Structure 1
Amino acid sequence: MDRRRFVSAAGAITAAGALTTLSRPAIARGGIRWQMVSRWPEAFPDQMESGRRLAERITRMSDGRLSVEVVGPRDLGDYGDTFDKVSSGEIAMARSLSYDWRDRGLAFEILTVVPFGMTETERTIWIQDLGGQALWDDLFGDFGVKPFLAGSLGPQSFGWFADPIRSLDDLRGLRYRTTGVNVPIMRALGARPVSMPRSEIGPRFEAGELDAFELVGPAVDLAYDLHLFLPNYLFPSFHQTAGSIQLIVNREMYERLPEDLQAIVANAAQAEHVANLTRVHASNTAALRTLREQHSVTIGTVPDDVLTRIGAVASDFLSQAREEAPSEHRRVFDSFTTARMQIRAWTELTEGNFMRARALPFSYPSSG
């Protein structure tokens, strides 16, 4: 894939004009003013709030020298064009998901989610300490974009079903709404996966065109009333174990900033990564309790033998995708899988065994 084809000569002219418009006159007035596109609308839990918190952090830390205004996903045109607009400088920055542009290659998917991949903590370790950020910078740098971690959708669900999944036979023929890499995996298992926007889930289900679906996790699914359609809510998600959120910034505009403002953007993104991750976990904790106690939703898990088979299919799919990917995408894939194995040994020895020990049959103090 020729990644530079996405920025045309006309786009380069637009970029130069946008940089002049957004930077020089603003500096002449005593401050730089940028807009940040949020992938998520107001109704989506936690994420527009997170974008505003990030923008406010940058504005306050810079004492107004760099002020950021957050706009909705469609306020500056089609959201699908956002990456190209950040690349060209038409938009200064966006808070988004890399896999929104997965058609550009395997690494764009990997930088958001990987089947049976990492937890968000493990992914952060890879990005910040095991070489992930440098590869990410190289990949996006060819598009004129500087990326940062800036939040997480958290661990997600396997989905909503009429009945529990007890065997692979229960997946065969199932019209199951899902997205991305999960589509070919589910198809290989005999399901009939379909992709559709969130807004179509309810109408398509009520029209008898859908048997099961997954969206995100408890807080988001509760906010969009998905519990009204099906009673069984199954875990774990194997394909979206950690939905990493990115802040992408036009690279030339970022590098034009004074060094202290560059540091402010980087540190504000890092701070919001932690703030949003904890907020999402807290929201999901509360929403899961609401679903169970107020809406009588049955919370269940997918059997190990089913997950084992899914894991084998996912592994085959990823291996083939790696072989077909350009070299720069293979480097990201190989770095990810190497880090996964290294970190996994520590996670399973410590947190994995602790989770097992915590579930042992002994009493523990409670609030009542």
Structure 2
Amino acid sequence: MKRRAFITAAAAAPAGLAAPNIVRAQAQHNWKLVTSVPRGLPGPGVSALRWAERITDITEGAINVEVFGAGELVAPFATQEAVEGGTAEVYHGSGSWFSGRDIAHSFFTAAPFGLTYDEMHAWMYFGGGQELLDEFTNPRGLKIFIGGGSGLQTAGWFKKEIKSLDDLQGLNFRAAGLYGEVLRKLGVNPTSIPPGDIFPALQAGTLDGAEWVGPSNDLAFGLQNVAGFMYAPSPVEIYGGIEFGIGMDAWNALTDAQRVMVEAVTEAEANRSSAYTLHAHLQAYEKLQNMPELTIDTFPDDVWDAIEVAAAEVIEEVKQTSDFHQRFVEAYYAYARQSTQYKRFYDSAFLTKRQSFFG
């Protein structure tokens, strides 16, 4: 018994002695995460905090992530540049908000008649989307992962009723990325402002309307209190995605195991935040429907017709930017076309029957 105990203890000793050396040799990574939304904002703000906490926990503090909300360290729409410039290691935000740097970045968030959040995840993980994103952004020193989508968003909140295409002419409307470019062709004056500025701008009359996300986020921002007409769905904000962008220096400094941990946490967050947003939207939409002073509708047919024409023009313009843009956009819409054919037979037919079932 004594000999066996001695052998067991001796066998365990090298591992026990080696462990502290491994811990001491392991590099410490202190990351600053800058997000474009207010700290702790329901939905995306909470998602950023949860991602940071889980990265810190799963790596047992080897990667310690500190979160800075919009404006706390850098301006809300300067987060991507902050990572490229080394001010922070990670940014969290929507690709549409960085479209002024390259409009193609919007496709990973929202594209005209584009991919829904389940389709986007399938394309990114298995259809070649992540490889195209890497090709697009790795040379700029960024390793970017999708962080979840809100699903089909609200087309917009307006202070006046939209009865026809004429009613959009000259309106000052908050819209980012490709949605802004489509609306510009319809006679709208689009402007991209940070989320936290939307309500004050509507209240002050600087804006005639705005898009933000969907029922839960819009309700949280109080948009129903400053704009009495809500139109949905959006023709462009389909996936409504947000992303985590890690500086390549920070990414390359990790061990292989740590990279796997970061990827796993990010994929989990993309799923969790998408699920949460849909759940929150269901509750919020019910509340909005019960507001008698609020008009909820969809755009008139002539607006939709004009949007289709404008969207086709915008897509073609992006394709003409470079050989990569053409290859990228064609790959994106090839996947959307394939999924449309599939969902026409499966999803559309089922949803019609389910609606009949519930009356």
Q: TM-score normalised to the size of structure 2?
A: 0.85
**Aligned match for 1:182, one of 170, 179, 183:** 179
* Deviation by residue 1:313-352 (Cα, 9 ceiling, x = unmatched): 11112112211x1222332212111111112211222111
Aligned to 2:268: 271
Residues 111 and 179 in structure 2, CA contact (< 8 A), matched pair in contact too:
no
1:178 Cα shift? 2.5
Counterpart AA for 1:331: R
**CA distance 1:259–1:363, change in 2 (3 Å):** closer
Aligned to 2:340: 344
**CA distance 1:30–1:180, change in 2 (3 Å):** closer
1:132 Cα shift? 0.7
Q: Percent identity?
A: 29
Residues 119 and 155 in structure 1, CA contact (< 8 A), matched pair in contact too:
yes
**CA distance 1:138–1:177, change in 2 (3 Å):** closer
Name the SS of the counterpart of 2:162 in structure 1.
coil
- Give the aligned CA root-mean-square deviation in angstroms: 2.5
Point out the structure with max Rg over C-alpha.
Answer: 2
Which moved further from structure 2: 95-104 or 314-323? 95-104
Structure 2 residues without counterparts, runs of 5 or longer: 1-22
**Equivalent pairs, count:** 337
Q: TM-score normalised to the size of structure 1?
A: 0.83
Name the SS of the counterpart of 2:100 in structure 1.
helix
* Deviation by residue 1:252-299 (Cα, 9 ceiling, x = unmatched): 321221111110000000000000001111111111112222564232
Name the SS of the counterpart of 2:239 in structure 1.
coil
Residues 152 and 273 in structure 1, CA contact (< 8 A), matched pair in contact too:
yes
Aligned to 2:288: 291
**CA distance 1:106–1:281, change in 2 (3 Å):** same
1:64 Cα shift? 2.4
Which moved further from structure 2: 270-279 or 64-73? 64-73
Structure 1 residues without counterparts, runs of 5 or longer: 1-25
**Aligned match for 2:121, one of 116, 124, 128:** 124
Name the SS of the counterpart of 2:121 in structure 1.
helix
Aligned to 2:255: 258
Distance 2:351 2:130 in 1: 30
1:217-228 equivalences in 2 (<5 Å): 217-228=214-225
Distance 1:72 1:199 in 2: 11
Name the SS of the counterpart of 1:359 in structure 2.
helix
Residues 107 and 330 in structure 1, CA contact (< 8 A), matched pair in contact too:
no
Aligned to 2:305: 308
**CA distance 1:28–1:35, change in 2 (3 Å):** farther
Aligned to 2:142: 145
**CA distance 1:267–1:39, change in 2 (3 Å):** same
1:225 Cα shift? 1.2
Distance 1:299 1:351 in 2: 25
1:356 Cα shift? 1.5
1:1-368 equivalences in 2 (<5 Å): 31-42=28-39, 44-162=41-159, 164-198=161-195, 200-294=197-291, 296-323=293-320, 325-360=321-356, 362=357
